Amino acid sequence: MSEYSAPWWLRGGHLETIAPVAFPPTVTPYPSERRTVEVAPRSNVELHLSVPEQARGGTAVVIHGLTGSAEGGHVRALAGEALGRGWHAVRLNLRTHGGTAAISETLYHAAQSDDLGAVCAALEGWGLPRPYVLVGLSISANQALRYAATSGTSAADAVVALNPPVDLFRVEREIDRLPNRLYRMTYVRGLCRMLDEVRAVRPVPGPPANPRRLRSIRAFDAAFVAPAGGYASVDDYYADASSGPLLEGVRVPALILSAANDPFIPREMLEPHHGAGGHVNVRIASRGGHVGYLEGPSTRRLHFWAAGPVFDWLDDIRGG
């Protein structure tokens, strides 16, 4: 794997994490077709399918992080890299994300890894080419790993996990640290906005989704996510959703790529899982922040560095 080198003007884990919000990577536009897949009774997820000009790879399913969407800059960059290498690209909106509240009667939670199996089954039904690779960012990276670990020889042929929070208890504590208060506030506000979108379509039990009262992700999860998912407590939810304790069950090639200076995904949380199940490969870049990895000479010409190593690795495991 080539080493990430941050631009001269982009220094430090916090800045490397935040910069892509203001300066998303440059991606050449490409057409896509919207489709939906039912993942539970009366609950659907939305897919954006793009076809390469010359197909010579498989199908990559790229999945956004918490409160993100299929239109996110890094999601589009990964899909663009896939298309450029001859892969079909699917950008996925998880339940209630990306403006999809109207097509799902259930709230999103991080243990819904079987949704990814339903997506792979749909790809097969549509005759899309294998291998099927799940490429998750942040919380969806944990979800993809959980799916690979719990489904045995799963419908997915490989998994890529970028900066995955494999221990939700640990990551929740890290995000609550004072230096990370900006991330905590951003996530909580995004979750409250998403719940308001859902409540505009159907009722959801619980208090008002007010970020001034729900001051942490844990508080939001305790008020809404755990009860909606049928969990007795938020601790039961975090224990079930965390992929770390399950990774010995992975039976397909899996790449975990993270950064040593990620503000809330400690490298020591990931490195012990290298070699898990004989299939998990953990690689830690020295820089990159939390799914940052911007590279380029200026803010007007930026690329998502991680897209290259991801598809280099996929080429390697496919034998070139």
- pLDDT at residue 319 greater than cutoff 70: no
Indicate the pTM of the whole model: 0.96
Question: 236-240: long-range contacts (C-beta < 8 A, 24 or more apart)?
Answer: 237/109, 237/110, 237/111, 238/168, 238/169, 238/172, 239/169, 240/111
Out of 22-26, 89-93, 294-298, the most confident range is 89-93
pLDDT at 300: 77
- Mind listing the pLDDT tens digit for each residue in 81-106? 999 999 999 999 999 999 999 999 99
- pLDDT at residue 298 greater than cutoff 90: no
Average pLDDT of the segment spanning 51-77: 96
Question: Would you tell me how many other CB atoms lie within 10 Å of the CB of residue 181?
Answer: 12
C-beta of residue 79 within 8 angstroms of C-beta of residue 62: yes
- Mind listing the pLDDT tens digit for each residue in 244-273? 999 999 999 999 999 999 999 999 999 999
pLDDT at 285: 96
CATH superfamily, with its number, for domain 13-167+243-317:
Alpha/Beta hydrolase fold, catalytic domain (3.40.50.1820)
Least confident of 31-35, 112-116, 152-156, 228-232: 152-156
- pLDDT at residue 153 greater than cutoff 70: no
The residue ranges of every structural domain in the chain are 13-167+243-317
pLDDT at 12: 94
**How far apart, in whole angstroms, are the C-alpha atoms of residue 195 and residue 198?**
5
pLDDT band at 163 (very low <50, low <70, confident <90, very high): very high
pLDDT band at 297 (very low <50, low <70, confident <90, very high): confident
Average pLDDT of the segment spanning 165-172: 98
pLDDT at 231: 98
